[in-house]
Structure 1
Amino acid sequence: MNETKIYLVRHAHSSYTPDEYGRGLSLKGNRDEKSLTYLMKEKQIDVVLSSPYNRAIHTVEGIAKHHSIDIQVIEAFKERTLAGQPVEDFQSAIDAVWQDETFSYPGGESNEFARSRGVSALQNVLKTYKGKSVVIGTHGNLMVLMMSHFDDQYDRHFWENLDMPDVYCLTFQGEELMKVDRIWERTA
């Protein structure tokens, strides 16, 4: 059977601004992006997809260039919207959405809604690129929410321990998750 490999890439470090689409990588993020590109050079990569957010695109840009692949932007792989307006206390806001899967702030997405959006896009990728190796540049919350659809060990605690960047290779047979391997190793 043809295995499909999905490399979920959490974007490298970025300096916070409220501009979700335009926010780029920090100096550390740019250094880590180069390390990530080097790490992925030997992998067979057929397709590179990304969230429309600049920090996600920039994180996978070197991989795409090395493999001579154009990045396809997929809106559904953008980060979950926590709220329509900036929240006063990010930690409390994150607590609320992880404690209740259906809770959302005004203008925001619940875990349930964001997971459904991400998984629907991922299932489309699995059908469209069956048997291929696909890099997806995305974001921490959405990445873990998608992974939790297949295995509930991927939870808030897992999310809190992700690096920026971080890479997990999900191996599928059809739409069944067979195994998960961490590709990225924490650097100083």
Structure 2
Amino acid sequence: MTAIYIIRHCAARGQEPDAELTEHGKKQAVELAGFLADANINRIVSSPYARAVQSTEPLAEALGIEIETDEHLKERVLSSSDLPDWLEQLKSTFDDHDLALEGGESSQQALDRISQVVDELKNSGCQTAAIVTHGNIMALLLSRYIEGFGFKGWRSLSNPDVFLLNEGPREPECKRLWNKATR
């Protein structure tokens, strides 16, 4: 059995790869470390984007483990073009997983990419891991385990957010642990 904490990064200053956490996001990262301190995490794999790495630095420090970065966890590029109706376009890619906008990645391509990380962790013998990623690609991964998650689920995500995926011999179980209403 492998337990994987799927984490969305804390509040950030922007969407660029080098966008750092806000002051509020830094406080959230410390809160996140406290929340996960007793989870027996022995591996942290993060998107290489600054906001994702910074979101788990306090946890990694508390646990005495290094953060591994993996390009498979970076945010999905919806399109290389400026899309005034980007929200509608994004919804259409959740409805049609094979739809790839100009210069972008289809939902299926992004799902295949992030699923490689989950599969690698499962096959590595790691018992408890955390992956740190971004909302869009996280929602695609969650839709693999939570029926109907999709676009509506993406809209419900918070910064940060935490889900626990238990992969074992039976059907995988995935549930939300982070309750933004109480934080």
Who is 1:69 aligned against?
Answer: 65
Match of 2:110 among 111, 114, 130: 114
Who is 1:161 aligned against?
Answer: 156
Check whether the contact 1:6–1:134 (CA below 8 A) recurs between aligned residues: yes
Who is 1:150 aligned against?
Answer: 145
Partner Cα distance (1:42, 1:113) in 2: 34
Match of 2:52 among 56, 60, 67: 56
Check whether the contact 2:145–2:174 (CA below 8 A) recurs between aligned residues: no
Partner Cα distance (1:164, 1:139) in 2: 9
Match of 2:6 among 5, 8, 28: 8
2:174 partner letter: V
1:8 partner letter: I
Who is 1:28 aligned against?
Answer: 24
1:185 partner letter: N
2:4 partner letter: I
Deviation at 1:93, TM superposition (A): 2.5
Partner SS, residue 130 of structure 2:
strand
Check whether the contact 2:94–2:151 (CA below 8 A) recurs between aligned residues: yes
Residues 17-46 of structure 1: CA deviation (Å, up to 9, x unaligned): 5x3x20111222112111111111122111
Check whether the contact 1:170–1:177 (CA below 8 A) recurs between aligned residues: no
Who is 1:134 aligned against?
Answer: 129
2:138 partner letter: M
- Of all paired residues, the percent bearing the same amino acid is 27
Pair 1:78–1:177, CA change in 2 (3 A): farther
Deviation at 1:99, TM superposition (A): 2.6
Number of matched residues? 182
CA RMSD of aligned residues (A): 1.7
Deviation at 1:9, TM superposition (A): 0.4
Partner SS, residue 5 of structure 1:
strand
Single out whichever of 144-153 and 157-166 deviates more from structure 2: 144-153
1:170 partner letter: L
Deviation at 1:184, TM superposition (A): 1.5
Residues 32-78 of structure 1: CA deviation (Å, up to 9, x unaligned): 11111111112211101101111111111111111000000011011
TM value normalised by structure 2: 0.91
Match of 2:174 among 158, 180, 183: 180
